[in-house]
Amino acid sequence: MPRKLFRKYTPDPEKIRNMKGLGWLGRWLGNPAIWHLHRRSVARAFFIGMFWMSIPMPWQMIAAALTAIPLRANLPLSVALVWISNPITMPPIFYFNYLVGTWVLQRPAQHFEWSMEPERLMALIGQIGVPLYVGSVVVGLVLGAVSHVGINCFWRWHVARAWAKRHNRAG
């Protein structure tokens, strides 16, 4: 695990807690649990990051951060994972979410033209919004759960392998 690399660039929670410019946020951001890399915080961060990256909304990073802080997930990782959905990957991700939503709601998929013009975008959301958001929540929960379980399994396997290597060298 690249823990030393992350530790090098992770801010000190005590310094964050004492920063005057943060005010009341300093208490929340100064919690060491949201900066440490351990199995539980990383698994939670993956759940949070994968969930919020699936939801089509502005400010996904803020939603991920606001979820990570009370759940004591690794904050930087939660926020970084949201960037899986970026301007290049958003169309296929959200189209897939839309298709999942139509399947869950048992509705036929509609043909639509994508547009970033505000009027046409609002009309498009009115047309496909319900299946898109239902599918996004379903996909987000599934991706979050699978990544949470996957990280826990991988972490345990990695630790068991390291212990076995250490035991073989000693004996």
b/e 38-67 (16+ beta carbons within 10 angstroms → b): eebbbbbbbbbbbbbbbbbeeebbebbbeb
Write down how long the chain is.
Answer: 171
Per-residue pLDDT at 13 = 61
Q: Are 93 and 83 in contact (CB under 8 A)?
A: no
Per-residue pLDDT at 147 = 97
Provide the 8-state DSSP code for 1. -
pLDDT per residue of the chain (171 residues) written in tens, 0 to 9? 466 655 665 666 666 555 566 555 656 676 767 777 889 999 999 999 999 999 999 899 999 999 999 999 999 999 999 999 998 999 899 999 999 999 999 999 888 777 768 888 788 888 899 999 999 999 999 999 999 999 999 999 998 998 998 888 876
How far is residue 63's CA from residue 48's CA, in Å, rounded to a whole number? Answer: 9
How far is residue 148's CA from residue 113's CA, in Å, rounded to a whole number? Answer: 35
- For residue 120, the tally of other CB atoms under 10 A from its CB is 13
Helices 118-170, 39-54: inter-axial angle, 10-degree rounding: 160
Q: pTM, whole model, 2 decimals?
A: 0.81
Q: Are 30 and 63 in contact (CB under 8 A)?
A: no
Which residues of 9-126 form beta strands (DSSP E)? Answer: none
